[in-house]
Structure 1
Amino acid sequence: MDTMDDDLYRDITGFAHDTPSWFQHLAEVWTELGLLLFGVLFIIAWWRARRGDPRALAVAVLAPLATAVAYVCSELLKSVIDEERPCRAVSGALKPLVECPAYGDWSFPSNHSTIAGAAAIGLALAWPRIAALTVPMAVLMAFSRVFVGVHYPHDVAVGLVLGAVLAFVVVRITTRPVARVGQAMRGSSTGIVKWFAGPGPALAPSPAADPAAYDSPTMTFRRHDSHRH
């Protein structure tokens, strides 16, 4: 029995076949080109963060790592759910614009969409102004997977959300310890390590995190001086 998702898949692939050939080729290329563009943006975000504080560097480095984590989780879900590709399973659907993936390369969730969602949010956390570019890029990449005929709409929708949520959680949970590592790298005597971390400012110490700071002569002097004024 057909489902609403099957109908939507047929509608989108039918629309795809009605578009000009140049647009179809553009959609085919975009499914892979989008990944390359995200990779370039990761490098630019890291390069910019090298002059920021260690927290900024940590988020920029974590963005691609969180995307990799999201991809692995997507692959694990695929191996458990085993959903057949719509280009084989949906009756009455038009031939996909690209070759239908081999049997065993399951459909749910979409790896491309998961990577796109994670990359978009990871980059937005590292470089907030670029969210206006990365989020539409991710949505278009996800849509292109249905457009070319290799995924159901729910595959790409879940992939986008899965990637976005995992990237946000991974970055938020690990930023502080990675920032400490970045601070240590900036003080390293190894050239390549110091170059990677960049010349940015050191991480400002928190007095609450370093109780000994209150016992230093400088801190004692400052407190007494403040009382005089």
Structure 2
Amino acid sequence: MTAVSPVPLAFDGSHIDGSLFTTVTDFARDTKWLNTPMEWWTNAGLGVFAILMVVGWWQARRRDTTTMTLALAVPVSVAVAFAVAEVAKKLVQEARPCLSMPHAYIVETCPTPSDYAFPSGHTTTAVATVAALFLLDRRLSAIAAVFALIEGFSRVYVGGHYPHDVLAAAVLALPVAYVTSLVLRRFAVPLVARLRAGALAPVLTAKPAGAHVAR
């Protein structure tokens, strides 16, 4: 009987920057005391970006409708960037490092073969938040940028992605999220104005700081 050859893996990204990947994962092997915190952070750290979105919305309640529109645009822009990244994953079909380089030091559990590596979804979420917040509040965007750098590094450290997966996620997320927020600022302000004057007024508006009720 002729042996049936196994189904080949998807695109092997290790030929692009596998040596840089193993440099980082070798560092992870030499800093095992940091493995658990980094593995926790790489997923739980996404909550920081959600918190920054909430802060942006909370502050926008006391400002004009355009600002509130930009605040509401942040999660939408992140979702659009993430959706584009997911389409890219299906098109490229790059195998995870744990499948292409099984002998490398991998911290996180290897996902299913259909969970592709390129681009990094975690990094897409992080960098898209940076881009969308930039139009709303540059201080919040700067804070998000610091955490996005940590998030991107953590994805390589735990062995989930190659460095080019992280870089590609940033290159994709920045323009997609930024342009999406610009488009929403251009076209969604009238809708948000109606919502602020309607049943959602308590959620979308607040009295300016220091305002007093006339006696």
Answer whether contact 2:56 2:140 (CA < 8 A) is retained: no
Residue equivalent to 2:15: 3
In structure 2, what is the equivalent of residue 107 of structure 1? Answer: 117
Name 1:119's counterpart in structure 2: 129
Larger radius of gyration: 1
Identity among equivalent pairs (%): 34
Residue 9 of structure 2 is matched in structure 1 by: none
Aligned to 1:182: 192
Higher helix share goes to which structure? 1
Q: Unaligned stretches of 5+ in structure 1?
A: 202-229
Gap change, CA 1:91 and 1:185, over 3 Å in 2: closer
Q: Secondary structure at the match of 2:132?
A: helix
> What is the TM-score normalised by the length of structure 2?
0.85
CA contact (8 A) 1:117 1:162 kept: no
- For 1:163, the equivalent position in structure 2 comes to 173
Where does residue 142 of structure 1 map in the other structure?
A: 152
Separation in 2, partners of 1:122, 1:30: 22
Structure 2: distance between partners of 1:176 and 1:195: 24
**Structure 1 CA distance for aligned equivalents of residues 134 and 103 of structure 2:** 40
Q: Name the SS for the 1:8 alignment partner.
A: helix
Match in the other structure for 1:196:
203
Q: CA deviation at 1:20?
A: 4.0
Query: 1:154 pairs with 156, 160, 164, which one?
Result: 164
Give the deviation of 1:91 after TM superposition: 6.1
Shift of 1:15: 0.6
Contact 1:122 1:167 in 2 (8 A): yes
Alignment partner of 1:82 is 2:111: no
1:3 is paired with a residue of what secondary structure?
helix
| Partner Cα distance (2:168, 2:101) in 1 | 19
Preserved contact between residue 17 and residue 162 of structure 2 (Cα < 8 Å): yes
Q: Partners in 2 of 1:194 and 1:11 — Cα distance?
A: 53
Q: What SS does the aligned partner of 1:109 have?
A: coil
Alpha-carbon RMSD across the aligned residues, in angstroms, is 1.8
Q: Shift of the alpha carbon at 1:140?
A: 1.0
| TM-score computed with the length of structure 1 as normaliser | 0.80
**Alpha-carbon separation, structure 1, partners of 2:101 and 2:109:** 15
- Alignment of 1:64 with 2:71, yes or no, is no
Q: Which residue of 1 aligns with 2:62?
A: 51
Change (3 A) 1:91 1:199: closer
The answer to whether the 8 A contact 1:16-1:147 is kept is: yes
* Structure 2: gaps of 5 or more residues: 1-11, 209-215
Are 1:50 and 1:199, in contact at CA under 8 Å, matched by a contact in 2? yes
Higher RCO (CA 8 Å, separation ≥ 6 residues): 2
Residue type of the partner of 2:31? T
Partners of 1:124 and 1:134 within 8 A in 2: no
The match for 1:32 is: 43
Contact residue 52 and residue 140 of structure 2 kept, 8 A: no
Shift in Å at residue 149 of structure 1? 0.5
Write the deviation string for residues 10-47 of structure 1: whole angstroms up to 9, x where unpaired. 111001111141x2111111111221111111111101
> Deviations along 1:82-122, whole A, 9 cap, x unmatched?
1101111026422x111111111111111101111101221
Contact 1:54 1:200 in 2 (8 A): no
Which whole-Å CA distance do the structure 2 matches of 1:99 and 1:83 have between them?
A: 17
